Structure 1
Amino acid sequence: MIGLCMGLAGAVWAELPVPGFTLAWQHTIEKIRWEEDYRVSPEGLSLGVARVMGSGAGMDIPADAQLRDGTWHYRRQLPPLQPLRLGRTPEAGDYQLCFNQRCQPMSDWLGPPQAARPAVELWSCELTARP
């Protein structure tokens, strides 16, 4: 079964049996929530729709974005990402992973962000069988 792996340099720290998820975070300066929807496939993580509540420092809304109910919605045309590398530090706060209609901080699986491990990678993987 294909699912989501989290770790670094191929070392798996956590596995989630999900076909897709939303990655969400708060911009460190503007305090604006960003969300990106991903589908998990053998080829990698495919970005679908992304959403943001506004623009600001280093945060340009794509020209083709559509404003609906106070949120900008847009789509990026990218090949599947394998892996998706994220910066993760105590100063920036944590990402949230949303699936099954619930959002949880990434720290629920990986522990809190640490300066000694300032990055994490997400990738699609064949899940290990568990007894």
Structure 2
Amino acid sequence: MAAAANLCLMLGLAAAPEVIGSAATLSWTHSIEKTLWTEHWLATPDGLVLDAASVQGSGAGMEPPDGSILKDGAWHWRPTVPPQSELTLGNAGVTAPWRLCPDGGSCRDLVAPAGEPIKLFPCP
């Protein structure tokens, strides 16, 4: 059995990776619809696994898939995408920041130097 992976975060090209735990929730406000989108990610030896997602509405390319359940004002579903080697988050500086909440830890806004990527990836 392979060792469990951690989730690492890099805020910009020159930043050192920071281990934040084995799972976290990533959320943001959709730039057009102004509604909250949330994803729960797990770090595994196979990559980052998108375990759950929700969105507080629909429109502008954010329609919940068939089988979604409306609960507490948001559509919830379990995505069916393969494990990802990393997530690269845009950082144009013109929208609200991404928000990361490690399981069992404190939430924080993700801020990197203007125009530099924010990356999440599995690490040992």
CA offsets, 1:45-87, max 9 Å, x none? 1111101110122221112211112110011111111111221
Q: 1:31 to 1:121 in 2, by over 3 A?
A: same
1:83 matched to 2:81: no
Gaps of 5+ in 2: none
SS of equivalent to 1:89: coil
1:102 to 87, 103, 106: 106
What is the rounded CA distance, in whole Å, between the counterparts of 1:77 and 1:67 in structure 2? 18
The structure that is helix-richer by fraction is 1
Equivalent residue for 1:129? none
What is the rounded CA distance, in whole Å, between the counterparts of 1:13 and 1:106 in structure 2? 14
Identity of aligned residues (%): 37
Q: What is the TM-score when the length of structure 2 is the normalising length?
A: 0.83
1:124 matched to 2:122: yes
Are 2:97 and 2:110, in contact at CA under 8 Å, matched by a contact in 1? yes
Of residues 95-104 and 32-41 in structure 1, the stretch that sits farther from structure 2 once superposed is 95-104
Q: 1:41 to 1:83 in 2, by over 3 A?
A: same
- For this pair of structures, how many residues does the alignment match? 120
* C-alpha RMSD of the superposition: 2.4
Give the 4+ runs in structure 1 shifted more than 6 A: none
